[in-house]
């Protein structure tokens, strides 16, 4: 029996820090796997569906620890892992033990309260009112967000030690491309979103962590595709329908379950 912990809208594989043979490491398929999922509402229901897919294809029991919370920020994810939360930020409990025992970890959180640029907030809306697009979205503008990701990945490395682990970072799909176009902010918001995604991918890569891009999955490699037209998005114009959730599962499943070689960033 799988157990689900919480649900809104996460990641890495690690082994052998010193001279270990990480390419020889595999996840033990004779026992259950624990899957820890961090995201905002963009990841609702995905962890359970992914666990079902793993169980069907690999015959491994998967115990789900689903921390997909509406509006979950990266700051809250860090608070749940650093053991120093004073209760002022995170809605999550201390989850260090969960991660320490997890064969699969997925990490994503939004940039609220991170100290990074807030210009992108105008893009996170179904509002079609004409307005100015973001102007501050350079790599340097995202440094505070990157620093939080660094801390999270360092903590996952510490908690998992040399145990084979599949860790994945994910980014955020864009459901509102049509609304950007109507508001006259398509170009600026696309560039801002691409920079945010690139920061996630670059930071994860420094730790040997692979990013599964939901931006690419939903919006195409050139980021021009409308996921509403694909039937991925529900009537609220933002959140996924089951077919969109299935697309996320397929993207994650396609990357396989070979543990990554984790390394410290820097």
pLDDT of residue 19: 30
pLDDT value for 115: 95
State mean pLDDT over 2-14: 29
Cα gap 210→149, rounded to integer Å: 13
Q: Count CB atoms within 10 A of the CB of residue 66.
A: 24
Query: Two tokens at 130?
Result: 């004409």
* Better-scored residue on pLDDT, 59 or 14: 59
Given a cut of 50, whether residue 122 has pLDDT beyond it is yes
pLDDT band, very low/low/confident/very high, at 149 (cuts 50, 70, 90):
very high
pLDDT of residue 191: 98
Q: How sure is the predictor about 8, in pLDDT bands with cuts at 50, 70 and 90?
A: very low
**For residue 86, what pLDDT is reported?**
54
Class of domain 22-254: alpha beta
Query: pTM above 0.75?
Result: yes
Residue for token pair 């608070």 = 79
SS3 annotation, 119-130 = HHHHHCCCCCCC
Structure confidence at residue 108 (pLDDT) = 98
What are the backbone angles phi and psi of residue 51, rounded to the nearest 5°? Answer: -60, -40
pLDDT computed for residue 9 by the predictor: 30
* 145 pLDDT more than 50: yes
Backbone φ/ψ region at 248: left (φ over 0), alpha (ψ -120 to 50), beta: alpha
At residue 5, does pLDDT exceed 60? no
Question: Which residues lie below 8 Å from residue 264, measured CB to CB, with a gap of 6+?
Answer: 17, 154, 157, 207
Beta strands in 32-161 (DSSP E): 33-39, 62-68, 104-107
Residue ranges of the domains in the chain?
22-254
Strands 33-39 and 104-107 turn out to be parallel
Give the pLDDT confidence score for residue 208 in this predicted structure.
92
């Amino acid at each position: 029996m799988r157990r689900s912990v919480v649900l809104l809208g996460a990641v890495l594989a690690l082994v052998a820090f010193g001279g270990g043979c990480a390419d020889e490491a595999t996840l033990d398929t004779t026992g259950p796997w624990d899957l820890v999922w961090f995201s905002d509402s963009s990841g609702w229901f995905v962890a359970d569906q992914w666990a079902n897919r793993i169980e069907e294809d690999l015959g491994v029991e998967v115990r789900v620890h689903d921390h997909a919370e509406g509006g979950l920020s990266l700051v809250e994810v860090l608070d749940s892992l650093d053991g120093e939360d004073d209760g002022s930020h995170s809605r999550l409990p201390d989850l260090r033990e969960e991660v320490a025992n997890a064969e699969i970890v997925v990490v994503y959180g939004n940039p609220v309260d991170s100290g990074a640029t807030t210009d992108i907030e105008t893009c996170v809306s179904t509002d079609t009112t004409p307005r100015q697009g973001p102007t501050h979205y350079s790599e340097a503008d995202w440094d505070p967000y990157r620093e939080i990701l660094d801390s999270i990945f360092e903590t996952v490395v510490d908690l998992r030690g040399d145990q084979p682990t599949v860790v994945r970072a994910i980014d955020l799909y864009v459901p509102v491309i049509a609304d950007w176009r109507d508001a006259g902010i398509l170009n600026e918001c696309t560039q801002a979103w691409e920079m945010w995604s690139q920061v996630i991918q670059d930071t994860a890569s420094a730790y040997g962590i692979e990013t599964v891009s939901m931006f690419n999955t939903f919006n195409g490699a050139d980021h021009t595709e409308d996921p509403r037209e694909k039937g991925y998005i529900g009537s609220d114009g933002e959140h996924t329908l089951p077919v969109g959730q299935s697309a996320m599962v397929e993207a994650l499943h396609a990357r396989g379950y070979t543990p990554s070689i984790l390394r410290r960033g820097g």
